Structure 1
Amino acid sequence: MKKAIKKELMKKSIKRFLKDERGEFGVKQIAITVAVIVVVGLILTILQGGLLEGIVNQVWDFLWEQIQNLMG
């Protein structure tokens, strides 16, 4: 009998603890964070596939042309 009472008391205390614990992070916030991490990962994967090299080359060529135009 005492075991059953202790078990019920333990269940109630756990439920009370979980109900009272309201942290900074909610389910939506965690989901948004995970989505942002996935999107950043996809962008980095795309850029490493050669696209980044093309962008850097285009910027370099543009800047080099601008420097040459300024020099005469």
Structure 2
Amino acid sequence: MKLGNFAFELADLRTEQERATGIRAAQAALAGQGSPICLACEEEIEPERRLALPSAKRCLACQQRLERFKRRRR
């Protein structure tokens, strides 16, 4: 029975480690520099968007299109 508890504790530890790794990756992505030019349409990213999200790599319209596309693929 003790081995069963150990397995659950190990699974909980692994889950917490994966969650922490995911959080650190998201924080690093947000802290990174964005681009002044949209990767999709190659137009300038709006200054308001860059101020709100300095790590932005796409203009608002292209980001919205990408997110809609991803939602449809689910």
Q: Which has the larger radius of gyration?
A: 1
Normalising TM by the smaller chain, what interval? 0.3 to 0.5
Q: Which has the higher contact order (CA 8 A, sep 6+)?
A: 2
Between structures 1 and 2, the one with greater helix share = 1
**What TM-score, normalized to structure 1?**
0.38
**What TM-score, normalized to structure 2?**
0.38
